[in-house]
Amino acid sequence: DTEVTQTPKHLVMGMTNKKSLKCEQHMGHRAMYWYKQKAKKPPELMFVYSYEKLSINESVPSRFSPECPNSSLLNLHLHALQPEDSALYLCASSWRGGSTDTQYFGPGTRLTVL
Amino acid sequence: AQSVTQPDIHITVSEGASLELRCNYSYGATPYLFWYVQSPGQGLQLLLKYFSGDTLVQGIKGFEAEFKRSQSSFNLRKPSVHWSDAAEYFCAVGKNTGNQFYFGTGTSLTVIP
């Protein structure tokens, strides 16, 4: 199984809502990532979890809150988002989390903030 | 400093024609190099990667890339493009010191019949 799954596929939320994005992998990878991608731009790294510990937080606003309940699951909790947070949110996983690891990406969640 | 550059923002090729997408990196040591493809609204799919050894790397979907240290390049090639190859292509570099992984700005490929 070389698949990273993400739910939901699409999400529309208001600025006062609380929602969560979910990511799952069963490849035995110990590193998981959240990226934000705006249209026609490369993915921007948000968070990296390595062995279920947050190892990188790229100065992401606190309205984004990651959680890694176990090595197969990664959540991104959203609260009080702004319209400029609308984007494609990609999850990825890799073997250990080093910068030379091959990262495997999920299909993404298309988030629209009204 | 930009670590990976994709000079071509957009390329249009005819179906059946050959394709070359350029990627240049800046790094003193040998980097780990990747090419990913992204279809509209989808995640990124790994096409191929180079870590060491043979400088010509074969990937999926008939793609190949050649690592040229003297030119700091890792260009992606395909001898005959199919309409389904229309997508965004990202080159990426992983540096084996620290925790740095960089995507290029991407090249958008249009394939015309």
What is the per-residue pLDDT across B9-57, written as a single tens digit (0 to 9) for each? 999 999 999 999 999 998 777 789 999 999 988 889 999 999 888 899 9
Record: contact B98-A99, CB cut-off 8 A: yes
Record: contact B99-A56, CB cut-off 8 A: yes
The pLDDT score that the predictor gives to residue B94 is 86
User: Does residue B1 surpass a pLDDT of 60?
Assistant: no
Burial B33-68 (b: 16+ CB within 10 A, else e): bbbbbbeeebbbbbbbbbeeeeeebebeeebbbbbe
- On whether the CB atoms of residues A102 and A92 are closer than 8 A, the answer is no
Mean confidence (pLDDT) of chain B: 92
Q: What 3-state class would DSSP assign to A85? A: helix
Q: Chains A, B: CB contacts under 8 A, how many? A: 58
- On whether the CB atoms of residues A107 and A21 are closer than 8 A, the answer is no
User: Does residue B97 surpass a pLDDT of 90?
Assistant: no
Which of B44, B60, B90, B103 would best serve as a mutation to test chain A binding (most A beta carbons within 10 A)? B44
CB-based contact, A2 to chain B, within 8 Å: no
Q: Which residues between 67 and 106 in chain B have a beta carbon less than 8 angstroms from any beta carbon of chain A?
A: 88, 90, 94-96, 98-101, 103-106
User: Low-confidence residues of chain A, pLDDT below 50?
Assistant: none
Chain B: closest CA distance from residue A25 (Å): 14
